[in-house]
A and B are shown apart, each in its own frame.
Chain A
């Protein structure tokens, strides 16, 4: 019988694996929930083995893991602090999720300035990875819309950070992978909307040239993203669906409709996702859109978060987990690089279930270590097969390096120290802003001497 008196206080020191979204790697760590802004650094005063703030663990790899260390779980620190409906400025504690922000903001006529493909991420996690959305070409990264935040360091100092206050810590913390201290609260500029709906259009394309044409034509459309079929070869090589959308300008009801939730109930056996099923899925997805063009007026939920409907869908990949691989290659080599990498993936026979292609725009990020830069980005996910996946990742990472690109730490568990240090040559400068108590398995891995 579980102890019926166990409340949040009683469970506050649990030893448990904290899984990242890819469920790989898995490490033991001690979980220390932060309930209140004042909990850090008091809670960690006598700790050894280092600490790392974490949010919802929606990173795929090890930026949100610390082997044998202390994970400061921020999700109970989720209070709102202030909202100004004139300016759209929302101040909230860092553990608030984007889902909670949307629940609050949408009925009031506001939306997130930038959102990733899941709403189950925290404000702190979104800043620390300086996430991007389908509107990178119009809005830049998430960090660009964070006007101010508080950074608490293990020495007890509280730093207010903005472009004008402690600007060096502002720059280091946006995209700073949680390593500069604990973000306790942040102010985010929301943007006004008049409808929950998105004016959506989906267009089939064949090959990267057609993708680039569609990208050019859609410069003024707020959201664009493409799904690409990585299993197709020959005539169908790099076929896909280009998806674009704008917030509907037609005034509409902003209240949510009740939605049933599906939870992926069990671990799929390892064989469920193999080259054949993925290829079948991809073919079906391509032809689901029967017409070359399809238009729809769609609620924002399925448009932005198609996968959130199935909570914990990562279990579909079975016990071994999955790994993403996301690069950006600057325009100079974007096309040849993308074609070469897609060829390499097709050749490997390792199937990627969800391949997402997008052009990043040139809106600069305030973050020193931010991932996005102008060019083409491609995200692939692979079920982990130890003998096959990692050699492929190494080849793809080396190719990315050759084409002048870089990988996204939020989606990585495989790049080598040498690769990381070449992708992010500013890493040593960044390291000066690290909090001495804080580290991550990612950081330990990529800063070893190579």
Chain B
């Protein structure tokens, strides 16, 4: 049993893919306290149930879930149709799934690299194709997607992950260019390193962003229909500089 103390007019209908990831969970808590309707998708049933119970208790007016491995792109159309059906519509789709992967392993073995690219690039492209067309038909909706500052320039320490996010960011640029005029918003979210609750109170964590403030920025960027969000915002000038270091010098750096 749960309460909704301050539910507003009609609750927003939000589809969340990768709902058990730290940033997604923190974002959903804000939406839940606003009384949103949520459809949550994640791979692990037990974790998904824990997140769903939390959001329901915090005041979400409706929570439904589906356990799915988003790598399985064949399932996407039926999964998304089911979600939209359950929510009776969709105002926001929030794509938050992804893997960091093992860079060293990916340097040795193409299959590992391909797997990272599939999860972080191919799967979102499949989802976004369906979702974009759904939104274009209704001339409404927001597609909010977690990319990464790591996609802004490849670095030796994680270029496989980085290139998957670079591809995703470029795809989102193009998609925005295509469907913005149809009344559909595309938000590219580029978070820097984010600490979760667990590192609170520990001296080392100063340079990590607080997950709750990252979530607040995401919610507000969606409300303001922004295009690209660096979060925390300091990453925008930092990445501007990193993108503009001449390759001649960049290739010698230890990044």
Contact = CB atoms under 8 A, between A and B. Distances in A.
A17 interface: yes
Interface in B187-232: 191-204, 207-208, 211
A81 B57 contact: yes
B133 interface: no
A57 B255 CA distance: 34
Given A3-B158, A6-B193, A79 B50 contact: yes
Contact of A82 (B6, B53, B207): B53
A218 B35 CA distance: 43
Contacts of B196: 8, 33, 35, 76
Contacts of A213: none
Contacts of A37: 46, 50
B47 interface: yes
Nearest to B204: A16
Contacts of B47: 36, 38
B127 to A, nearest CB: 20
A17 B54 contact: no
A312 B100 CA distance: 33
Interface string B1-20: 11101100000000000000
A36 B51 CA distance: 10
Given A3-B158, A5-B158, A16-B203, A81 B198 contact: no
B157 interface: yes
Interface in A1-47: 1-11, 14, 16-19, 31, 33, 35-38
A97 to B, nearest CB: 9
B22 interface: yes
B228 to A, nearest CB: 15
A83 B194 contact: no
A440 interface: no
B193 A7 contact: yes
A16 B235 CA distance: 26
B97 interface: no
B49 to A, nearest CB: 10
Interface string A41-80: 0000000000000001100000000000000010110111
B150 interface: yes
Most B Cβ at <10 Å: residue of A19, A79, A85, A104:
A79
A336 to B, nearest CB: 40
A37 B53 CA distance: 13
A72 B53 CA distance: 24
A7 B100 contact: yes
Give the size range of B's interface with the partner: 35 or more
Contacts of A73: 198
A301 B194 CA distance: 29
A95 interface: yes
B150 A83 contact: no
Contacts of A38: 46-47
Nearest to B242: A1
A95 B198 CA distance: 9
Contacts of B158: 3, 5
Nearest to B103: A5
Nearest to A21: B201
Nearest to B150: A5
Interface string B34-50: 00000000000011001
A14 B208 CA distance: 14
B5 A108 contact: yes
A18 B200 CA distance: 10
Nearest to B255: A1
Given A82-B1, A108-B3, A4 B148 contact: yes
A11 B161 CA distance: 16
B100 A79 contact: no
A83 B233 CA distance: 36
Contacts of A6: 193, 208
15 contacts: A5-B100, A7-B22, A8-B22, A8-B211, A11-B208, A16-B203, A17-B203, A19-B201, A31-B198, A33-B199, A37-B50, A38-B46, A38-B47, A79-B54, A81-B54
